[in-house]
Amino acid sequence: MGKKEFKAESKRLLNLMINSIYTNKEIFLRELISNASDAIDKIYYKALTDENIVFNKDDYYIKLVVDKEKRTLTVSDTGIGMTKDELENNLGIIAKSGSYTFKNENEIKDGYDIIGQFGVGFYSAFMIADKVSVISRALGSENAYKWESEGAEGYIIEESNKDSVGTDIVLSIKSNTEDEEYDDYLETYTLRSIVRKYSDFIRYPVKMDITKHQLKEGSESEYEDLVEEQTINSMVPIWRKNKNELTDEDYNNFYQEKHYGFDKPLKHIHIKIDGAVSYNAILYIPSEMPFDFYTKEYEKGLELYSSGVLIMEKCPDLLPDYFGFVKGVVDSEDLSLNISREVLQHDRQLRLIAKKIRDKIKDELALLLKNEREKYEEFFNKLGKQLKYGIYQEFGSNKEVLQDLLLFYSSKDKKLITLDEYMERMKEDQEYIYYASGESLDRIDKLPQVDFIKDKGYEILYFIDEVDEFTIKVLHDYKEKEFKSVSSADLDVEDDNEECKDESNEEDKNLLDSMKDLLAGKVKDVKISKRLKNHPVYLSNEGEVSIEMEKVLNQMPNGEGIKAEKVLELNNNHKVFEKLKDAYKNNPEKLNLYTNLLYNQALLIEGLPIEDPVEFTNNIWELLS
């Protein structure tokens, strides 16, 4: 029989495989074992409805056989087999043509990614073999046929012999090259580790003859080689097991085995859903930030299995960025194995699973917060920043998911509290949720503007993370109470400081105006403060950009030059104010000196750099002498 040609698409895919420089060639075995497992499944399902077929579990298995001399690896299964037509139709063309529609030649290069993420079925065998023979006998047939190909030129199909139903795939392993040790695929230990890595959870046994070099029975010095058939996969994935069969240790071991992290996970979440979309998942919340989390190399994602077969080591679409630290596996029967990355992203089932997973993580964190506060705070201190970024980055669209998981330090006892706890303790007349930003709790606690709000009996959230104010800006309000910075110039708080004189006093007004002139370009306004008690001066701000934000933005590329609109507020009950008035009347130069000093002090209190430290210290000396 003459050689037949592959269909165009198949030919291109085949070429992609043959010339692949893909480093993870070992996945070919995953693909073949998965096909074998599917073929056994088909008999299994037939047996459910056809009483002529008895499905005796022991008769169904996959076997790997190595022949080092012939340089062949054979993957056999006792599955449903293929008829002549099926060999032709299944292996001559791509089964699911929809999955790989190459748009142009460049995609051959991009194909690198296709192989990496999904493997590409049977043809991946051509990454490691220069000839592939498929000998198959279909269920209910007496004849066997052989399909054989040495690459893109074509294939032959001819009659063959096979004693029992099933398929043998004989791979003639390529010779070693400079870059690739193909010989490895003829080593049982390599094959065993590949099987354990990718196909451990296949439902049927994957068997292999293992040669054991051991002492002869009854002898003390003589050795013999014993060949023993072993099942090399464990067959039952931990996520399929019942929760009550598993101990914390089992879960922790799995975490280690999978190299999810060096830490002990803070919490595991085992999900088993049988529904419109069925899936099992085990998720872990780590107790430590993954060590490479802030590097470019870090990829978020969950391991994705389809019926026990690994299809993707890190499926990013299963996790939102703000839960990017979560590790784990998802296994669903409702996902197809050979699905391209692009299609997967838009897969309805996958999106549904992703949403469920997100909600589950959220619920579990909420439970932890409710029931194991200490543990939650530990989590939040290490990983909570991600949740704040989450709100900020997605413009508040996940507000509902995340806002109740946030914790902030409070002016009362300097402990972490939730927004809800803040709300509960709010005074009846209180209109805003107050916050103050700074470098540390201590520094915030000493800010003049903080005293004022505290004296009113209002609680203040202390923001010490750079992202805090940005997060709160995006949140805007919590249960309809707006957030308000204690530094904002329009702090609508009733002033009950009796001694505070009205600034409408003409003389004071003129003083403030000339100070404003002296500080032109630096502050937007100079005014008498309604909130200062003991301090002579502080900076409040108007507009959208706060002083803390200015600090953060100025550290970023392109953020330089972004300035908060600052207002210098003065305490007219302070002795300094008398000095200012005096200088204004009698000594304009002194007024300039005082104004600059006060402004720079206000900057220092806010943790902002002063513009000219040398001038500032000189001014102090001048004042002292």
The single residue among 36, 315, 537, 539 that binds ligand ADP, judged by CB under 6 A, is 36
Distance in angstroms (rounded) separating the CA atoms of residues 204 and 55: 13
* Among positions 27, 39, 66, 407, the unique one binding ligand ADP when judged by CB under 6 A: 39
Closest to ligand ADP by CB, 36 vs 282, is 36
Give the three-state DSSP class for 478: strand
The answer to whether residues 226 and 82 touch, using CB atoms and an 8 Å cutoff, is no
Using CB under 6 A as the binding rule, whether residue 129 contacts ligand ADP is answered as no
Nearer Cβ to ligand ADP, position 121 or 328?
Answer: 121
At 204, phi and psi to the nearest 5?
A: -105, 155
Q: Does 95 bind ligand ADP (CB under 6 A)?
A: yes
Window 165-194: residues binding ligand ADP (CB under 6 A): 167
Residue 184: closest CA among 325, 73, 64, 288: 73
Q: Taking the CB of residue 298, how many other CB atoms lie within 10 A of it? A: 13
* C-alpha of 100 from chain center: 27
- CB of residue 338 vs ligand ADP: minimum separation in angstroms? 4
- Kindly indicate which of the ranges 44-52, 89-97, 269-277, 463-471 contains the residues binding ligand ADP, using the contact rule CB under 6 A: 89-97
Q: Per-residue string for binding with ligand ADP, 420-439, x by CB under 6 A?
A: --------------------
Q: Is 448 exposed, middle or buried (0-12, 13-18, 19+ CB in 10 A)?
A: buried
Query: Which of 20, 22, 28, 77 forms a contact with ligand ADP (CB under 6 A)?
Result: 77
Enumerate residues 577-606 that contact ligand ADP by CB under 6 A: none
Asked if 202 touches ligand ADP (CB under 6 A), the answer is: no
Cβ nearer to ligand ADP, comparing 99 with 437: 99
Residues 333-392 binding ligand ADP (CB under 6 A) are: 337-338
Separation of alpha carbons 63 and 40, rounded Å? 12
75 strand-pairing partners? 64, 169
CB of 35 to ligand ADP, least distance (A): 3
DSSP 25: T
- Interface with ligand ADP includes 532 (CB under 6 A)? no
CB of 154 to ligand ADP, least distance (A): 17
Using the minimum distance from each CB to ligand ADP, give the nearer residue, 122 or 478. Answer: 122
Closer to ligand ADP by Cβ: residue 79 or 328? 79
Shortest distance (Å) from residue 138 CB to ligand ADP: 8
Nearest to ligand ADP of 168, 459 (CB atom)? 168
Site size toward ligand ADP, by CB under 6 A: 18
The window from 35-43, 152-160, 381-389, 588-596 that contacts ligand ADP (CB under 6 A) reads 35-43
CA–chain centroid gap for 126, Å, is: 34
Task: Please list, residue by residue across 404-426, b when 16 or more beta carbons sit within 10 angstroms of its beta carbon and e when fewer do.
Answer: ebbbbbbbeeeebbbbeebeeee
Does position 122 interact with ligand ADP (CB under 6 A)? The reply is: yes
Shortest Cβ distance from residue 77 to ligand ADP (Å)? 5
Residue with tokens 């279909």: 138
Told to check if 111 binds ligand ADP by CB under 6 A, we report: no
Residues 300-339: x/- map of binding to ligand ADP (CB under 6 A)? -------------------------------------xx-
**Neighbour-count burial of 279, counting CB atoms closer than 10 A to its CB (0-12 exposed, 13-18 middle, 19+ buried):** buried
Give long-range contacts, CB 8 A cutoff, 24+ apart: 290-295.
290/261, 290/325, 290/327, 291/261, 291/262, 293/324, 293/325
Region binding ligand ADP by CB under 6 A among candidate stretches 34-42, 230-238, 250-258, 458-466? 34-42
Q: Is residue 96 involved in binding ligand ADP (CB under 6 A)?
A: yes
- 31 vs 468, beta carbon nearer ligand ADP: 31
Residue nearest to ligand ADP (CB): 121
Amino acid, single-letter form, for residue 137: R
Residue 193: which of 281, 283, 64 has the closest Cα? 64
Give the residue from 501, 531, 505, 489 showing the smallest Cα distance to 584: 505
Task: Return the range that interacts with ligand ADP (CB under 6 A); candidates 78-86, 109-117, 288-296, 571-579.
Answer: 78-86
Q: Smallest gap, in angstroms, from Cβ of residue 79 to ligand ADP?
A: 5
Question: Residue 537: which residues within 8 A CB-CB, separation 6 or more?
Answer: 448, 568, 569, 570, 571, 576, 598, 601, 602, 605
Smallest gap from Cβ 95 to ligand ADP, in A, equals 4
Out of 13, 14, 82, 450, the only residue in the binding site for ligand ADP (CB under 6 A) is: 82
**CA 316 from centroid of its chain's CA atoms:** 7
d(CA 577, CA 595): 11
Angle 412-414-419 (CA atoms, 0-180°, nearest 5)? Answer: 70
Q: How far is the CB of 261 from ligand ADP (least distance, A)?
A: 33
The answer to whether 410 touches 422, Cβ cutoff 8 Å, is: yes
Instruction: State the minimum distance, in angstroms, from the CB of residue 99 to ligand ADP.
Output: 8
Among 90, 307, 449, 571, binds ligand ADP (CB under 6 A): 90
Select from 445, 550, 431, 444 the least CA-distant residue to 494.
Answer: 431
Distance of CA 575 to the CA centre of its chain: 57
Q: Which stretch binds ligand ADP (CB under 6 A): 7-15, 88-96, 273-281, 412-420?
A: 88-96
Residues in contact with ligand ADP by the rule CB under 6 A: 31, 35-36, 39, 77, 79-82, 90-91, 95-96, 121-122, 167, 337-338
